[in-house]
Amino acid sequence: EERTKKKRRGDRYSVQTSLIVAALKKMLPIGLNMCSPADQELINLAKIRYSLKDTDEEVREFLHNNLHLQGKVEDPAMRWQMALYKEMSGKAEDAEDPEKVVKRVQEVSAVLYHIEVTEHPFKSKKMVWHKLLSKQRRRAVVACFRMTPLYNIPTHRAINMFLDAYKRNWLETEGYSFEDKMIDDLSKAMEEEEEEE
């Protein structure tokens, strides 16, 4: 019961449900209506530039350089829509002033970008890492780091002592080197396999 309450409380006060984000979402259609349909392509391009971590100044400069793309759509399926909406409402009074067009397009694209970031926060690399490492996995990894290494556990220490004593008292007292013997045994086994084939 406590877990569900905590989860609900966390959802209630999350970034996605904040009043500021909710107000922006409600006002977004009004902002989009302020732009002419010809601005849609520029808005999308500016939003992409924001996702590439460009600053406001860089986006503004990019929009100035690409203002000629206003109203031009490569996709033939979209051209008829642009022609349909060209004469409809949404054409701002200051559509002829490039400075004001750039400012308006930049503001709307910034809002669109920030809303997308709040709704889909796992697109950034750090958040993806947090998502991949759940709390349970994180606890397991930390527990592994805190565990005593195997060579420090008493049973392993006893085995290590036994191996040292075995090597010193048994193997080193033999007359030939075990490395050479092992190489001979392995090479003979390989020769036998080749003969069988």
Q: Per residue in 94-119, pLDDT tens? A: 667 788 888 888 888 888 888 888 87
Whether 40 and 66 share a structural domain: yes
Whether 154 and 120 share a structural domain: no
Whether 115 and 159 share a structural domain: no
Whether 57 and 119 share a structural domain: yes
Domain holding 166, by residue range, is 145-196
pTM higher than 0.75: no
DSSP string, 56-70: HHHHHHHHHHTGGGT
Instruction: Tell me if 96 is assigned to some domain.
Output: yes
What is d(CA 168, CA 162) in angstroms, rounded to the nearest whole number? Answer: 10
Whether 118 and 70 share a structural domain: yes
pLDDT tens by residue, 44-67: 888 888 888 888 889 888 888 887
| Closest listed residue to residue 95, CA positions, set 168, 103, 195 | 103
| Over residues 84-89, mean pLDDT | 56
Q: What is the pLDDT of residue 8?
A: 54
